[in-house]
Amino acid sequence: MSPTIESICQSLSAIAPLKLAEEWDNVGLLLGDRSAEAHRILTCLTITPAVVEEATELAANLIVAHHPLPFKPMARITTDSAASAMVWNLCRAGIAVYSAHTAYDSARLGINEQWANRLDLTSIKPLTPSLEDSTVGSGRYGELPEPMTAREFLSFAAKSCGSTRPRLVGDFDRSIRRVAIGCGSGGSFVGA
C-alpha cells in the first residue's frame, strides 16, 4: 500500500513548516485529493506544460514543485491561458500539486541556509527572523571564514555553485567578510 498524499504533505510540512511561508504566497496542497494514495511522485522547480505532460506519461499522481501552481487565484479554469490549461490538464489526469515555496526558502536547512552552508559561512542567521523561532525566517547572512576581496569572493562563489558566467557590480577590491543571501527575487530585502 502506498502512502496517502496527506501523509506526504505532512512529511514535507515537517521539513518546511507552511507557517514559515510569506503571507502573499500560495503553499501546501494546492490541487488534489488528500486521501488518495501517492503511487508515483514527480518533483520539479516549476510546473510547465512539459512537466504536466511528463507527469501524465509517467502516471504520476503527485507533483512536488518548488513554485506554486496556481500562484494566484483563478477566476476561470479553461484552456485559454497556459496556467489555467495546466491546472485543467492536471485535474483531468488526477494529479495533485504540492508546493512549499517560501516556506522551504525560510526553513531550517532550506534553500537560503543551504546556500549559506555551500559558501562556508559561519554564524548563520536569518535576515528576517520568524517571530515564533528566531533561528528560521527569510534569507540568511553569515561570516566568511576569512575576509576576501569582492573579486576573490566572486570566483569562490562561482566555483561553489558551478557558475561559468558570474557578474559583479561595484568595487572588485573591496574587502568582504559578511555575506547575505536572499533566494527568489530578494526584492523585500532591498530598500527603495
Predicted confidence at residue 70, as pLDDT, reads 87
**C-alpha separations of 31 from 9, 15, 26, 28, 55 in Å:** 12, 20, 11, 9, 14
Which homologous superfamily is 5-103 in?
NIF3 (NGG1p interacting factor 3)-like (3.40.1390.30)
Please write the tens of the pLDDT for every residue from 106-163.
999 999 999 999 999 999 999 999 988 999 999 999 999 999 999 999 999 999 989 9
The band of 192, judged by pLDDT with boundaries at 50, 70 and 90, is very low
State the CATH class of domain 108-189. Answer: alpha beta
The band of 185, judged by pLDDT with boundaries at 50, 70 and 90, is low
Query: Residue 191 pLDDT more than 90?
Result: no
Torsional sign, CA 38, 44, 45, 51: negative
Predicted confidence at residue 95, as pLDDT, reads 98
Please write the tens of the pLDDT for every residue from 58-102.
999 999 999 999 888 888 899 999 999 999 999 999 999 999 999
Helices 49-57 and 82-93: crossing angle in degrees, nearest 10, is: 10
Widest Cα–Cα separation across the chain = 60
Please write the tens of the pLDDT for every residue from 56-66.
999 999 999 99
The model carries a pTM of 0.88
DSSP at 36: S
Q: 165: which residues sit within 8 A by CB, 6+ positions away?
A: none
Helices 150-161 and 111-118: crossing angle in degrees, nearest 10, is: 120
Helix (H, G, I), strand (E, B) or coil at 49: helix
Predicted confidence at residue 19, as pLDDT, reads 96
85 closest CA partner among 93, 186, 133 = 93
Predicted confidence at residue 73, as pLDDT, reads 86
Cell numbers at residue 43, please?
518533483
Q: Where in the chain is the domain with CATH 3.40.1390.30?
A: 5-103, 108-189
Give the Cα separation of 125 and 139 in Å (integer): 8
Give the Cα separation of 181 and 142 in Å (integer): 9
183 closest CA partner among 98, 130, 114 = 114
Query: Residue 190 pLDDT more than 90?
Result: no
Give the Cα separation of 13 and 33 in Å (integer): 17
